[in-house]
Amino acid sequence: MFSYLSNFLYILGERKLRLIPLLLLILLTSLLDTVGIGLVGPFMGLATNPRLIELNSRLHWVYVKLGLTYEVQFIALLGLIIILAFWTKSLLSFQAQKYIFKFSFTQYGELSSNLLHAYLVAPYTFHLSKNTAFLINTVLEDSGVFSVKFMIPFLKTVASFIIIVFLVVLLIITDPIATITLALVLLIPLGIIYQFKDKISEWGKKVSQSKEEMIRIINHSLGGLKETRIIGCESYFERQMSAQVDQLVNGMTSFHTFQALPRIIIEAILVTFLVAFVSIVLVFNLGTENIIEVLGIFALASVRMIPAFSHLTSNIALMRNSSYSINKIYLDLKELENIEVEKILEPTYLSALYPLSKPNTPSSQFRDFAKSIDINRSLSPEDNQIEINRITYRYPKVLDPTIMNISLTINKGQSIGLIGKSGSGKTTLVDVILGLLAPESGEIRYNGKSIYNNLRSWQNLIGYIPQSIFLID
């Protein structure tokens, strides 16, 4: 679990400092909650026996200092303090929940944008080893898992843990033996989660992989709809989709069923404890004079502890279930951190392209835009030669070079064709000419100047027609 938290904090980066005010707010809320619950027991005791004010030296001292004349006034004042404590706690708790959701969903948006930026500026070789469906799933789905299924549960786990610690301290002050017994019994749900920790992670991994495969299937079937229709392989993609849906359903059903188990066990344990506690006290006559006060504190603490402990166990399970997605994001960011990021310079004409994306744009604006980016206007009569000089390139982690010592001169107006068997390096050479792949040795010159001095300017002069057409809506 600690490795997942380490990855989580790494992904957050400097933004983790924003968690400090939230943790302080959670701490204050938990303290007020505990104070309010701690005062309920004495309030119930005083309400049933006002003479306790005289018998308790501390209560009597407060009673005298306040200058009250009736015991009922003191009890009413104590009740008012309890009400104020609970309402203040409720208001702060609402603000804490609001901050948690705002912070988490903001991180979702920022992480998605940061991942997209990281993938866009990553070297072209990075994408050669990655499936597009994998990247789409990471940007959209895994970043959502990070924020909604890991960050929010993590923050709620911290809040639940603090509340439980304060309540346990309060119960120890009230009845140490009963509290220790209850604490030992409540360790059972945590033990169940620990025993199933690997299974929980496996369920999360299957769900993430299923969603990734579903994106890939949709891309293949609908992205190549013409080919799908001509070949008649619709049923093939449907069978693939059905298999992934079954895996997704099994993984989610198994996890969410298991997630509900600790809450059911906790409720049964606490009810059993309260009934058994009262029965033992009455049967063995262990002192029933303060039983109402003790039961009041334990009952109200149980009302708060059931959801707190239930949230704690279910959120721990949810964080474990999300670990596969967290590791995916972490490993991608680490990989991109250790490779040289390409410097992306945006073509100047793109700023004029944004207004054309609005609906009902007049056709005259498109004609004006086309004229403004006519690349022939940037060429001089001397621009007449591309020289490829002894280019060698090998792909990462590949021993033999794909192309080696390729030299070629292309004159203005000349048409050439690259002919060779599959895998001979035709596409690789084109990618090197396009500037997508940096050669191991050699260089490409345009009118005597290396294109690598200003790769963006070189790419602005290229007209590229790919094998597969990609249209932007």
pLDDT tens digits, residue range 239-251? 999 999 999 999 9
Q: Do 62 and 91 contact (CB within 8 A), yes or no?
A: no
| Residue 134, pLDDT score | 87
Residues 315 and 390 in one domain: no
| Each residue's pLDDT tens digit, 403-432 | 999 898 888 888 888 898 888 888 899 989
* pLDDT for the residue numbered 376: 44
Question: Does one domain contain both 451 and 314?
Answer: no
pLDDT value of residue 210? 92
Give the CA distances from residue 256 to residues 69, 142, 207, 251, 327, in Å, rounded to whole numbers and listed in that order: 58, 18, 12, 9, 21
Q: Is the pLDDT of residue 227 over 90?
A: no
> Which of the listed residues 337, 370, 405 is the one where a domain comes to its end?
337
Answer whether residue 177 shows pLDDT above 60: yes
State which of 316, 337, 358 marks the end of a domain. Answer: 337
Phi, psi of 419 (to 5 degrees): -120, 135
Domain range for 454 = 380-473
The set of residues, in sequence order, having a beta carbon less than 8 Å from that of 377 and lying 6+ positions away, is none
Confidence label for 55 from pLDDT (cuts 50, 70 and 90) = confident
Q: Judge if 38 and 178 occupy the same domain.
A: yes
Is the pLDDT at 295 greater than 80? The verdict is no
Co-location of 327 and 450 in the same domain: no
**More confident of the two residues 378 and 463:** 463
Q: Identify the pLDDT of residue 244.
A: 93
CA atoms within 13 A on the CB side of 161: 11
Total domains, the chain: 2
Mean pLDDT of all residues in 333-350: 61
Identify the pLDDT of residue 162.
Answer: 78
pLDDT digits (tens, 9 = 90+) for 431-441: 899 888 888 88
Average pLDDT of the residues in 74-102: 81
Q: What is the pTM of this model?
A: 0.68
Least confident of 101-105, 272-276, 331-335, 343-347: 343-347
Domain boundary among the residues 284, 307, 337 is at 337
Whether residue 140 is predicted with pLDDT greater than 80 in this model: the reply is: yes
The residue behind tokens 């790919």 is 466
Question: Do residues 258 and 397 share a domain?
Answer: no
Q: Which of 170-174, 208-212, 272-276, 384-388 has the highest mean pLDDT?
A: 208-212
Q: What pLDDT score does 379 carry?
A: 44
pLDDT level of residue 371 (50, 70, 90 thresholds): low
User: Tell me, what DSSP letter sits at residue 374?
Assistant: -
Pair (327, 414) in one structural domain: no
Q: What is the CATH number of the domain that holds 388?
A: 3.40.50.300
The answer to whether residue 10 is domain-embedded is yes
167 in the same domain as 52: yes
- CB of 41 closer than 8 Å to CB of 297: yes
Q: Residue 248 has what pLDDT?
A: 92
